[in-house]
Amino acid sequence: MNGWLLLAEDLSDLELLGAPYRMATVRDYVSRPSVFLRDASKIINLARSYDYQSAGYYASLLAEARGHRVIPTVETILDLDVREGYARALPELEDMLNRELAKVPGDQRDRPERMLVCFGKADNPACAGFGRMLFDWYRAPAIVCGLATVAAATGTWTKIPRLSLRAPSKLNPAEAAFFAETLEAHTRRAWRSAKQRVPPRHSIAVLFDPADPLPPSSERTLKHWANLAEKQGVEVEPIRKRDLPRLAEFDALFIRETTSIRNHTYRFAQRAWAEGMPVIDDPISMIRCTNKVYLWERLTQAGLPTPQTLVMPPKGGLQEIGDKLGFPLVVKIPDGSFSRGVKKVATLDELKTLTTTFFKDSELLLAQKFIPTTFDWRIGVLDGQPLFACQYRMARGHWQIVNHRADGSADEGGFATFTLEDTPAEIIDIAVRAAGLIGDGFYGVDLKETPDGPVVIEINDNPNLEHGVEDAKGGAEIWLRLTRWFTDRLAR
């Protein structure tokens, strides 16, 4: 089982598994990093508890920090900790579960109160597809599914009131034997099963919604990229929200929908990331970039220039904020996008009215000093290097580059594209440093020029890349670099 390392709080917890596994205690793994950094690339965390800030939690957290592949990840631990974390998966899981149970003859149909799924295998043989789907959503050694049968218009329906991680040490003898069998099967195969490819062909799925009113790339643009990528032996194919089950058919994923932690784009990113697929935007970048509180904190701690900003708690302090920042000032909901959830207020009364509304959706808000400019710089950064430089002008008669009207329509300002050589060096330097705080993917860094120098306004994980706009100066080279980002990672 070369390359696999099993962690437990006490090695006696692993006796049921037998040899030949490499094993270590959680304490040793956490406290002696030099011992494990050399050759422990794949970790299975079998701690007795995965509770927040428990030894098991820290084992997975540090494994990710050390660049190890770990089951379960911290994201999985947190998702399965509370129902709200896995509620988005339940409709799909329950649908699969009931479709499989419906295929079992009525006199043989068993509707137990729980089901154990270990490494994607269900202890009910009739529910093999359900087990694989659950493992696709949440890669964990063992998950217990609470089940409940309820009356429905078409008969009975099995619901899943609870999903929970289960430590092997807490399994009964029959379950422990099943767990050992599934562990052995799982560790026999690679972390990600390699697809049969005909070199040098690769396929990139592009998540795209033709109904998106403000897509980061239009269908026309994506066809332009597909034509260029084809010459490099790369196939680009658009997919839709409904195509999540098909994702494994591709080698990589490029998300060209407006991203949000609370919609399907995050689920696509998570699934691609779990499969080891190159993906833009990766889920970590989405988490970091879609929250302006996180961005402001990261930028500030890194010493990069930002507008004067204050975090607003739900109660009190509005007069003090107005005094410190002056009016007008800008109020931001942390996870707004495309200028949504960003408002300018001119008086204390307007601030009170707006925050009363905004605090219904967020526990924290940002108040920021208003910096009037006629344009924002947008620097595209890919893999730590500048890709394009644009100036986005403010929408006509408005203070933002996009003016969202009450009727749902939007008005955008004009643009001017620059060569990287003609772009101020300080603008590019700050943008590259800012993007480096997020990751090595594709980011759009927005900056304003002020008398005191440039300031970073935002880092976008899903920046616009439109043929004839962002590539107006870089041309085909921009798209070739994007393609190489994916193919280089696939080649590794």
Interval 70-84 mean pLDDT: 89
Give the Cα-Cα-Cα angle 164, 60, 289 (nearest 5 degrees).
95
In this predicted structure, what is the pLDDT of residue 198?
32
Pick the range with the lowest mean pLDDT from 6-20, 229-243, 246-260: 6-20
Please check the confidence at residue 340 and state whether its pLDDT lies above 70.
Answer: no
Q: What Cα–Cα distance (Å) separates residue 10 from each residue in 46, 67, 401?
A: 10, 24, 58
**Alpha-carbon span 190 to 128, nearest angstrom:** 20
First-to-final CA distance of the chain: 22
Pick the range with the lowest mean pLDDT from 16-25, 114-123, 347-356, 410-419: 16-25
Structural domains in the chain, sorted by start: 4-79 (3.40.50.20), 86-186 (no CATH), 308-369 (3.30.1490.20), 372-491 (3.30.470.20)
Please check the confidence at residue 481 and state whether its pLDDT lies above 90.
Answer: yes
Please, what is the average pLDDT of the chain? 86
In this predicted structure, what is the pLDDT of residue 377?
96
Q: Are 142 and 179 in contact (CB under 8 A)?
A: yes
In this predicted structure, what is the pLDDT of residue 157?
84
481 vs 67, higher pLDDT: 481
53 vs 232, higher pLDDT: 232
Please check the confidence at residue 303 and state whether its pLDDT lies above 50.
Answer: yes
* Cα R_g (the chain), whole angstroms: 25
Q: Please write the tens of the pLDDT for every residue from 136-184.
A: 888 899 999 999 988 776 678 899 999 999 998 889 989 999 999 999 8
Q: Please write the tens of the pLDDT for every residue from 268-284.
A: 999 999 888 999 999 99
Interval 84-90 mean pLDDT: 89
| Band of pLDDT at residue 190, cut at 50, 70 and 90 | very low
Beta bridge partners of 258: none
Q: Please write the tens of the pLDDT for every residue from 5-55.
A: 899 988 887 776 765 678 888 888 887 777 776 655 688 999 999 988 788
| Band of pLDDT at residue 409, cut at 50, 70 and 90 | low
In this predicted structure, what is the pLDDT of residue 221?
95
Q: Please write the tens of the pLDDT for every residue from 427-436.
A: 999 999 999 9
In this predicted structure, what is the pLDDT of residue 2?
44
| Band of pLDDT at residue 448, cut at 50, 70 and 90 | very high
In this predicted structure, what is the pLDDT of residue 304?
96
Please check the confidence at residue 70 and state whether its pLDDT lies above 70.
Answer: yes
Q: What Cα–Cα distance (Å) separates residue 182 from each residue in 13, 200, 245, 435?
A: 17, 35, 23, 41
The answer to whether the pTM exceeds 0.75 is: no
